[in-house]
Amino acid sequence: MIARDVVVENLIVTAVATFLAASAANASTIQLQPVSDAFARLGHSCGGIKQQILGEGFDDAGNVTGYVFAATRCGGSGKGGGYHTTTYSTWLAVTWDLGGNVVGEITGTPDPDPSVAGAYHSGSLVGGANYPTCDNATEYDNAFTCLSVPVFDGTGAYSVQTSLYVVNQAACTASDTSYCTYRGILAHECGPSCVRCGDMDSDGAVTASDALAALRAATGTGTCALQVCDVDGSGDVSATDALKILEYALDPAVSMTCQ
């Protein structure tokens, strides 16, 4: 068995060297969907309804919570031949399932401004502390995207955040978001408290790096919890587990069984 493990180990080291550079975390992300009946909520639809979608967090049932700001601008001839537009808008408190589909909505509550989900308007600068990826240095920067700090659910496997795309910073304000676009983003990944079978480094993906870490644990130069690295359920961590992790990294159809 020792000789076999040496062979397996050599195989893994060679394969790791080959595939390590190509390995990367691959958390999947989807967008939270707009509400389908915004027209009914607004009572008007003139030239389309724009929806700002802001992710907030998770409820006790594990569904995603957030807000949608729906608005439509209606133009018309005013008295005396002048032209004016009327904007009809409403806030919706929305719940989405983990597929990003709307599963519940309440109109008009609690009338938040966009800062509720991390958007922050400080004077003429858009972004702020809740959007750490903003790199707009001056009020004259335009056409940039920021991401809010992700909020994880109780399992640490899902996170929601808001992306903010600013078209015109000067025109994008808390009261007029015509020149900004907010989108709720739901990611399926491993956060700090997430334990995934084979994902030794908890980065949300099983890669050759995890196989190498498991190999180190198997050879006594590292440690790894059984529920993460004993992927064949044998009760210990061996080079066989490392090989299986590597096989899974290359082909997710390979089955792993952690306790």
Which span (60-68, 138-146, 157-165, 229-237) binds Ca ion, by CB under 5 A?
229-237
CA distance 229 to 233: 9
Long-range own/partner contacts, residues 254-259 (CB < 8 A, 24 or more apart): 256/197, 256/198, 256/206, 256/231, 256/232, 257/197, 257/231, 257/232, 257/233, 258/197, 258/198, 258/226, 258/227, 258/228, 258/230, 258/231, 258/233, 259/226, 259/227, 259/230, 259/233
Which residue from 56, 153, 189, 199 is in contact with Ca ion, where contact means CB under 5 A? 199
- Asked if residue 56 binds Ca ion (CB under 5 A), the reply is no
Interacting span for Ca ion (CB under 5 A) from 31-39, 214-222, 232-240, 246-254: 232-240
Choose the binding region for Ca ion from 4-12, 55-63, 132-140, 210-218 (rule: CB under 5 A).
210-218
Of 194, 241, 245, 256, which lies in the binding site for Ca ion, with binding defined by CB under 5 A?
A: 241
Cα separation, 59 vs 3, in Å, equals 53
The nearest distance, CB 244 to Ca ion, in angstroms, is: 8
Question: Closest distance between Ca ion and the C-beta of residue 249, in Å?
Answer: 9
Residue 5 lies near Ca ion (rule: CB under 5 A): no
One-letter amino acid for residue 159 of the chain: S
Amino acid identity for residue 77 in this structure: S
The Cα–Cα gap between 137 and 126 comes to 10
CA–CA dist 153, 64 (Å, integer): 9
Residue type, 219: T
Residue 189 interacting with Ca ion (CB under 5 A): no
Nearest CB to Ca ion, comparing residues 115 and 257: 257
Residue from 36, 87, 234, 255 in contact with Ca ion (CB under 5 A) = 234
Among the listed ranges 70-78, 181-189, 216-224, 238-246, the one in contact with Ca ion (CB under 5 A) is 238-246
State yes or no: residue 247 binds Ca ion (CB under 5 A).
Answer: no
**Binding region for Ca ion (CB under 5 A) out of 4-12, 48-56, 131-139, 200-208:** 200-208
Which residue's CB is nearer to Ca ion, number 2 or number 137?
2
Strand partners, 30: 186
Residue ranges of E strands in 98-205: 102-107, 121-122, 125-126, 144-147, 151-152, 158-166, 180-188
For Ca ion, the closer of residues 42 and 239 by Cβ is 239
The residues of the shown chain that bind Ca ion, judged by CB under 5 A, are: 199, 201, 203, 210, 230, 232, 234, 241
